[in-house]
Structure 1
Amino acid sequence: MDRTIRTCEGRTRLGLLRAVGLGAALPALALSLAVAQAAPASAEGRTAAAPPAATTAWGAYLSALHASRRKDSGRASAYFETAAPEARNRLRFLILALRSHVLAGRMERATAAARRTVALSGGGPTMARLVLALHAAKQERFGAAQDHLDRIAHDSVMRLLLPLLRAWMSLGRHKDPDLALDEHRDLEEVVQFRPFRLLHRAHLLDVAGRPQRAAEAYAAVTATPAIGSLRVAETRSNFLFRTGDAAAGFETIDRFLAVNPDSMTGRLLRARYEADAPVAPPVGSPADGAAEALLNVASALNLADRPEQALPLARLAVWMRPRDAASAFALGTVLDGDGRHRDAIAVFRTIGSGSVYNWEARKSAAAALVELERYDESSAILEKMAAEMPGRFDALWLLGNVHRSRSAFAEAVAAYDRAYERIADIAPRHWNLLYARGIALERSGQWPRAERDFLRALKLNPGQPYVLNYLAYSWVDRGEQLERARGMLEEAVRKRPNDGYIVDSVGWVEYRLGNFEAAVRHLERATELRPHDPIINQHLGDAYWRAGRRHEARFQWRRALWLGPEEAERKKTEDRLQNGLPPFRPIRRQ
């Protein structure tokens, strides 16, 4: 039974956006923002696609909607442009076109659509006013930018973004940092906004030429949980090196690396400082400050699993600061997390070899290729990276994940073994490598080694719920350590009560022990949490059958087939529908 995907936490690249966000502050922010639902998200444009043929006004509209739902905003943008004039003058049409243009990165079209939208509606929706404000800021027309921002409602994510943008526009217009910082007063009402307020205070004072006050503001930022973010360490150390305090700059980077010792980006940044390379400020103007605000808020939204709102802000951040690698990496990460893998790969590949983000961008591109089932390309990238850096294990770890994703478990074990050999001192943070290798070992029939890896992973990270679940499930499947497995699963479900896979495992233990009514209760709950998983539905059907509920059992088995199980499980389920289950043979309690 394939539990590889069911029990894994996710691909290696998940969470990489933390490197360009505000670290520990962002999950808290996600709870504080009353984020409104956006329209269905469209995608970064497939610019290589041929433009659509001329069509009727409504034909273009329907084609654009279809492309948007397929997350192909490049084609949607093109369809909106080919529509007849009478369609382009409809407000709803313009709003959808504007969003598609932004998501496709076609900012000239977006600006034109924003102007038409404002002219037609009078007030103008948020996206139109935001695009026009940023366009004005790029041209250093800060008064006009402020006028547009003043017409945006102070709600949803704009509770955070608007004060940050207004402050930057005020600085550009009046050259008075104190007047600009007065725009931050609304941020003081929400404690989760504090890291953003402090960081942008520091950036703003730096751009305004107040180095002493900027130094104090950066020091205040590092006293918050946001110091766990690479972006904070990067911007503060950048300031310290530019102002002549190299010792404090190295200390800032070293504090980050103490928490994140495997960060290649952090190590490359430190190496750059050691080489005494020129240091340019990441935020050097009010327009740069606006771009940084967009980047930070996009990062927060992405970590809060709001890619439909993160994506346009990430796009706008790149528009405002097109040469900033951190913004490009953030955009690629948002695109990839939202299933727009081709577009993500294209963005990751724009991050050149001279950038400290290049290593992670290449890894992320390799992981995105897996989603497109381009396994050979992904493996080639990672093998090349592993050869370039023989002292690092992360490319080989990801290579193991690539092999495991295509069920090449023996190859996965070999890659994980190579990664393991590169680690001089196994530390608690390496539990995940042992867990991943344990899965590959179990799936390739090497149970004794797999069991040792799972137990060692638990020693490194006691009580880790995913390891508890996989090991306990495996024991139950093998008829071993049943009571110990039950205790481990109870602990796992206490820690992850809404994880359908863990709840399923608890139900399966009860089933294997012959406690069918208890099994039904847990498995019904598991199907509520994971209604589209064929294995969980099959398990519930089995429990119903043993509990004497034959009609419900057959219904669940039919549903399991409809959900598309793997071939081996499909055959088992078809046999159940035809013949039912054989007499139950309880396994001995341990």
Structure 2
Amino acid sequence: MSFTANDPSLLYVRARTAEALGDTARSARLYASLSTINGNDWMLARRAVSSAIDAGSFDLAVLTARRIPADQLALDGRLLLIADSLRRSQLGEALTFVDDKTAEGDGGFVTPILRAWSEAAAGRDGLAPLSTQAVSQGLLEPFADEQRAFLLLSQRKASQAKPYIERALASSGGRETRLRLAFAEGLRRARDEAGAKALLVELAPEIRSKDVALDSPGIAISTPAEAVAELLAGIGGALTDNPDRSLPISLLRAAHHASPKSSEVAVLLALLLNRDGRNAEALAVLDPIDERDPFIGDVRDARLRLLLAANRNADAVAFARSTIASLGARARANDFGRLGDALRDAKDAAGAADAYGKAAALAGAAGQDNRWTYLMLRADQLESIGRWSEAKADLRAAIQIQPDQPLLLNFLGYGQLERGENLEEAEAMIRRALALRPDDASITDSLGWALFKRGRTDEAIETLRKAAAADPVQSEIHEHLGDALYTKGRRLEARYSWRAALITAEDQDAKRLQAKLDGGLSPETAAR
């Protein structure tokens, strides 16, 4: 049997092969060609649209989707056509793809937003479509207050928007920074400077730590395209933990097409693509973002995470250094924090410690609340290269800032315990950390080890057993338990714990554990 270049069977095999190999752009082109040949096969056409959306080939996706009758469109294709219409400021056209009978699963959840903006543009009550029973009981409900606020602020109706702003922020979760800034700019445009400042005052420490450019334009949500993009980003972001990432990716792709300048959408999409194993595509999504973007700090954070996730440590270090060099005197704590992260992953502990130290100094000078984090990170790197006295000083300084931070208390307490320093203080710190975080297996382990070091072996064994039950895969806990059991003459149980520790131990620890299994516990093989 022979095939021609455009034989449907051959095209289908090639499309599936490209799909399996992760070549999304090629599979999208092949499915589109196949759909053109089989003109009335709407199932195939829908697959072609989905493939093109997944690849970010928007022109191809729109072209293919426009061939499909409205009643045959799938959710992703319908949302993309709506996004494309809104991107071109064609609200009326967007409304042709949905109506009151369109099911939520087919994209009907955006209908109230489109109708709201349409009614407002016609001088009628734009809130009415957002106040129906369908909205209060549907997918749009968690986002309804923010959408009402966006609409009213676009009409410069600040006083009417404020109750919705308050309710939206109260339930915003991780989106609070973005929404608070959007609302603040909306109030500012509506000539309510006092209202805008009131929103920003509460957020000031976080803004400083995130390097958000407060005075940059483009943060407000003031068009139907931006409103729908914000909704799709909110829903897509809430679905990122789903094992099947096709739906959140398609939602974020549509949001990105509707509002291509939204760095928030781009960052969410990039991080989701990376989790789907598509690191190169993820980085490409971030490439077009302007360095003057108001959320450029978040964009830089995301780029560094993607480079490190791909084990491109040298590129990550180069990126962090180039950012600092380009900013010069304007470089902030976050910029040096990124460099510290990159150098840490590149196994340059001394360089990382230096970068974190600069970050801590800048954070302190700016009055940022997160200075303690940089001090803790610096201490971690200093300890790893034997500079414990400096690490200890950093930890004490961090505890002065955050006296009830269990991570700091456990770090300093355990560090002193390992070295036989200030054992009473060390145990007290660990007990305090555990009181603050009673279900933390690592802190429970620290307390058990403190008890063992102070000769209270029976109590230590009981405490270490609790830690091992809470975190069965942590090698260090099992090794500590094994050492304590061996000391009490319970050698069979000790060997069992050491074998459990060996399963997840790193190379150097594995050698020590094997030596204990071969010859028993000795001063040379004892855990630290």
- Fold shared, TM-score > 0.5 on shorter chain: yes
1:77 CA drift (Å): 5.7
1:343 and 1:489, CA in 2 relative to 1: closer, same or farther beyond 3 A? farther
1:326 and 1:584, CA in 2 relative to 1: closer, same or farther beyond 3 A? closer
TM-score when normalising by structure 1: 0.70
Q: For residues 547 and 64 of structure 1, what CA distance do their matches in structure 2 show? A: 59
Q: After superposition, what is the alpha-carbon deviation per residue over 1:225-267, rounded to whole angstroms, capped at 9, x for unaligned? A: 45993322332333344344556545644553255333421xx
1:461 CA drift (Å): 0.8
1:567 CA drift (Å): 3.0
Q: For residues 430 and 106 of structure 1, what CA distance do their matches in structure 2 show? A: 43
Query: Within 5 Å, which residues of 2 pair with 1:217-296?
Result: 217-218=161-162, 220-222=164-166, 224-225=169-170, 229-245=176-192, 249=196, 252-257=199-204, 260-265=207-212, 268-270=213-215, 272=216, 282-296=220-234
Q: For residues 542 and 125 of structure 1, what CA distance do their matches in structure 2 show? A: 61
Percent identical among aligned pairs is 25
What is aligned with 1:476? 417
TM-score when normalising by structure 2: 0.77
1:100 CA drift (Å): 5.6
What is aligned with 1:573? 513
Q: After superposition, what is the alpha-carbon deviation per residue over 1:365-413, rounded to whole angstroms, capped at 9, x for unaligned? A: 1343223332332223322333424252221122222222333222122
What is aligned with 2:55? 104
Query: Within 5 Å, which residues of 2 pair with 1:316-355?
Result: 316-336=254-274, 340-355=278-293
The 3-state SS of whatever aligns with 1:269 is coil
Whether the 8 Å CA contact 1:202–1:215 is kept in 2: the answer is no
What is aligned with 2:102? 150
Unmatched runs of 5 consecutive residues or more in structure 1: 1-53, 273-278
Letter aligned with residue 270 of structure 2: G
What is aligned with 1:298? 236
The 3-state SS of whatever aligns with 2:288 is coil
What is aligned with 2:394? 453
Q: For residues 185 and 149 of structure 1, what CA distance do their matches in structure 2 show? A: 14
Q: For residues 471 and 30 of structure 2, what CA distance do their matches in structure 1 show? A: 37
Q: For residues 199 and 517 of structure 2, what CA distance do their matches in structure 1 show? A: 63
Whether the 8 Å CA contact 2:357–2:375 is kept in 1: the answer is no
Letter aligned with residue 189 of structure 2: R
Letter aligned with residue 286 of structure 1: P
1:491 CA drift (Å): 3.1
Q: For residues 512 and 64 of structure 1, what CA distance do their matches in structure 2 show? A: 57
Matched, 1:435 2:382: no
What is aligned with 2:145? 198
Matched, 1:169 2:121: no
The 3-state SS of whatever aligns with 1:407 is coil
Letter aligned with residue 288 of structure 1: E
Deviates more, 1:476-485 or 1:196-205: 476-485
1:435 and 1:347, CA in 2 relative to 1: closer, same or farther beyond 3 A? same
Letter aligned with residue 98 of structure 2: Q
1:281 and 1:552, CA in 2 relative to 1: closer, same or farther beyond 3 A? closer
What is aligned with 1:424? 365
Q: For residues 322 and 368 of structure 2, what CA distance do their matches in structure 1 show? A: 26
What is aligned with 1:380? 318
Question: Higher relative CO (CA 8 A, sep ≥ 6), structure 1 or 2?
Answer: 1
1:584 and 1:372, CA in 2 relative to 1: closer, same or farther beyond 3 A? closer
What is aligned with 1:29? none
Whether the 8 Å CA contact 2:516–2:525 is kept in 1: the answer is no
1:320 CA drift (Å): 1.7
What is aligned with 1:414? 354
Q: For residues 313 and 526 of structure 2, what CA distance do their matches in structure 1 show? A: 42
Q: For residues 281 and 379 of structure 1, what CA distance do their matches in structure 2 show? A: 30
What is aligned with 2:4? none
Q: For residues 493 and 96 of structure 1, what CA distance do their matches in structure 2 show? A: 53
What is aligned with 2:6? none
What is aligned with 1:46? none
What is aligned with 1:276? none
1:100 and 1:552, CA in 2 relative to 1: closer, same or farther beyond 3 A? farther
1:333 CA drift (Å): 4.1
1:447 CA drift (Å): 1.4
Q: After superposition, what is the alpha-carbon deviation per residue over 1:288-323, rounded to whole angstroms, capped at 9, x for unaligned? A: 321121123334455x89894644432221022123
1:73 CA drift (Å): 5.7
The 3-state SS of whatever aligns with 1:377 is helix
